[in-house]
Structure 1
Amino acid sequence: MKKKIKNKRTKKTRYSYSLKTLNDKFIHDQMKKEQCSPISIQNEKIGKKTNKNSCLSDSALIRLRDLWNARHPDIIIKTNDPREVWKNLYYYMKNTCNKESCWLKQNFANNDKYLKKELDESFAPEYPKEWKKNPNKWLSSVDILNVMKQYEEAYKCFNFIGPSPIDYDTYMLYGECVWNELCHFNLQNELTAGKTKIGVIFNLDPHHKGGSHWVSLFINIRKGTIFYFDSAGEKIPQQIEKFVKTVMVQGRNLSESKPINFVFDQNYPVEHQYGNTECGVYSLFFIVHMLEDKITAYYLKNHILKDQYMEKFRKIYFNGTT
């Protein structure tokens, strides 16, 4: 008599966990990684954000808790500890959301003005949907501005101007300049407003053309330096040099503050970029690293920052679209 052979079924491994057993690392590993904004990073430094695994401020987490409780009276989150609130929110929304920014878009939260602002400020901006098909698509002026606005908010000493066409001081039909902030730049006003670091991004095309190449300029008032960066290693154009000379003259003629004898420098003739897609990322990288004192003029003139290295910063300055 033949023996009956029992089929051996492969047991599937399942994660079985409760709210009490959750820890930060587990949640961090389960959720999709998002790039926090520079505002969020600064919040952590000054104690407004105590959970290093989260992009959200403590006050935003408490606000989310309150809105959750109002909408779900049968599943109240009682804790006042922002870290524990974060765990609770993950646990209750784990089947709906795989990332933090999704929490703020849920029905119980998406009409709240405070959380709308938090969504805009806590996470790096989303990259354009076109990048999915073309991940090296040129950065637009809107892409650049979305990033720079967050750095302006994070660093109160910083003012970003642009992105401007190269013919910034051309007068238009009704007497206004192509870019008024550059056309009427006033160094004393910047100092009075507490701005000691100024970043400018130019496009080398004039305003009536579609755009050709992004370049950047950084003014460090306290150090008395102005640096022009072109990833292609070309010499500063005459029109941008005109703006630099204006700033230098204003520095020498300061009346309400101690005069500044600015020193100008540029990376010419050192060429960093050999492809034709990353000039916008180079410009962002330069402004951000000069702002945060993470790079020097000497380094930019003696080391090559390759295109492949710049490509990585697309995933630092931007988040993937949902």
Structure 2
Amino acid sequence: MAHTRRSKLKDVGIKACHPRIKGRDGDCLPSEVLKKVSNTLGAPRNLTLKGGKVLKRWITRRTKCKSERCWVEKTQMDPSEKKMIVTRYFRPTMPDNWEENKTEWLDTLNITNVIQQYEEVYPEFKFFGANPIDFSAPNPYKKDSLEKKECLQDEICKMDLKKLMAQGKTKLGFVYNLDPSDKEGSHWIASFTDIPAHRSYYFDSYGYEAPPQIARFLRSLTLQDPSMKLQYNARRFQYGESECGMYCLYFIIRMLKGDNFRKFCRNPPSDSDMTDLRNWLYSKKN
């Protein structure tokens, strides 16, 4: 992953490619898929057989676009097959409005779609979603008196660390919004739990203390595992208003890749790094 000299970003994979893909920037598609794309675009058979740079140059001229994602979008493939290729080999689609506003706030789906791909790459990882701050409050949509005892995000409230370990889920990711479920959303924060290491990490890109709801939830983990240690980020990463969601994504990715939490907090990337990171964690249609 190439960055400017002053960038403090660490590797997050190949630009715009699904995180399972290994190789060079821009090479998301394996040769067999690339040949299928070229066939649907009408490439001469001799070029398709050659493959490589020669074939890619032909596809670029044919489609008038440079990215592999754009090549796939330009084909006349069956829609279901095209969707399968896009889902399997590329990052989630970058929202169209980001072209005009490159620092648009991330919504719940923007966050979830990225992290769910990491669940595919790391089978030991489970993501519990991007949730409002009142995730543990009684569910307002349940009318029955017994159902009302269920919290808004029952999967989190009933989380059992031993059961998760037995299922092979040892790394847990959470993203929260400081707004409750009846509001539009404000600031994203995150936590990450490493069960075998007996560690839970809280991250706020502004460096603020954990709100009571999150602090209470993290303390509840120590009741299940008395050896669990809680660590909190007190260093400010973010100085603008738009990149909290991107910082949360970067935090969870780096924890999955095994970064030391304290070292991670001592070396914060900039807001502009996070804006640039959007081009790696999302793919453009054209």
- TM-score category (smaller protein): 0.7 to 0.9
Given that 1:34 and 1:123 are in contact with CA atoms closer than 8 Å, whether structure 2 keeps it comes out as: no
User: Are positions 1:124 and 2:88 aligned together?
Assistant: no
Q: Pick one of 117, 123, 148 that aligns with 1:150.
A: 117
User: Are positions 1:40 and 2:21 aligned together?
Assistant: yes
SS at match of 1:95: helix
- CA distance in 2: counterparts of 1:314 and 1:246, whole angstroms: 34
Match of 2:232? 266
Match of 1:103? 71
Q: 1:248 to 1:60 in 2, by over 3 A?
A: farther
- CA distance in 2: counterparts of 1:89 and 1:276, whole angstroms: 40
Match of 1:165? 132
Q: Pick one of 39, 42, 54 that aligns with 2:27.
A: 54
Deviation at 1:59, TM superposition (A): 4.9
Alignment of 1:293-304 (within 5 A): 293=258, 295-304=259-268
SS at match of 1:152: helix
SS at match of 2:225: helix
User: Are positions 1:278 and 2:243 aligned together?
Assistant: yes
Match of 2:189? 215
Deviation at 1:154, TM superposition (A): 1.6
Q: Deviations over 1:33-83 (max 9, x none)?
A: 952120223xx5xxxxxx775201345346546xx27x95x94369778xx
Gaps of 5+ in 1: 1-32, 45-50, 253-260
Deviation at 1:92, TM superposition (A): 5.1
Q: 1:79 to 1:278 in 2, by over 3 A?
A: closer
User: Are positions 1:306 and 2:276 aligned together?
Assistant: no
Deviation at 1:111, TM superposition (A): 3.0
Q: TM-score when scaled to structure 2?
A: 0.81
Q: Deviations over 1:189-211 (max 9, x none)?
A: 32122122111100011111111
- CA distance in 1: counterparts of 2:170 and 2:207, whole angstroms: 26
User: Are positions 1:320 and 2:284 aligned together?
Assistant: yes
- CA distance in 2: counterparts of 1:152 and 1:208, whole angstroms: 29
- CA distance in 2: counterparts of 1:247 and 1:89, whole angstroms: 51
The amino acid across from 1:262 in the alignment is M
The amino acid across from 1:102 in the alignment is C
User: Are positions 1:76 and 2:76 aligned together?
Assistant: no
Q: 1:96 to 1:287 in 2, by over 3 A?
A: same
Q: 1:91 to 1:80 in 2, by over 3 A?
A: closer
Residue range with higher mean Cα deviation, 212-221 or 85-94: 85-94
SS at match of 1:201: strand
Given that 2:243 and 2:271 are in contact with CA atoms closer than 8 Å, whether structure 1 keeps it comes out as: yes
Given that 2:70 and 2:285 are in contact with CA atoms closer than 8 Å, whether structure 1 keeps it comes out as: no
- CA distance in 2: counterparts of 1:305 and 1:34, whole angstroms: 18
Gaps of 5+ in 2: 1-13
Q: 1:307 to 1:104 in 2, by over 3 A?
A: closer
Structure 1 outlier segments of 4+, above 4 Å: 62-65, 77-81
Match of 2:219? 245
Deviation at 1:143, TM superposition (A): 0.7
Number of aligned residue pairs: give it.
265
- CA distance in 1: counterparts of 2:53 and 2:76, whole angstroms: 16
Q: 1:218 to 1:130 in 2, by over 3 A?
A: same
- CA distance in 2: counterparts of 1:314 and 1:103, whole angstroms: 20
Residue range with higher mean Cα deviation, 99-108 or 166-175: 99-108
Given that 1:124 and 1:317 are in contact with CA atoms closer than 8 Å, whether structure 2 keeps it comes out as: yes
The amino acid across from 2:126 in the alignment is N
User: Are positions 1:133 and 2:64 aligned together?
Assistant: no
Q: Pick one of 162, 165, 168 that aligns with 1:191.
A: 165
- CA distance in 2: counterparts of 1:103 and 1:88, whole angstroms: 12
SS at match of 2:97: helix
Given that 1:104 and 1:110 are in contact with CA atoms closer than 8 Å, whether structure 2 keeps it comes out as: no
The amino acid across from 2:103 in the alignment is N
- CA distance in 2: counterparts of 1:107 and 1:300, whole angstroms: 42
Given that 2:132 and 2:178 are in contact with CA atoms closer than 8 Å, whether structure 1 keeps it comes out as: yes
Q: TM-score when scaled to structure 1?
A: 0.73
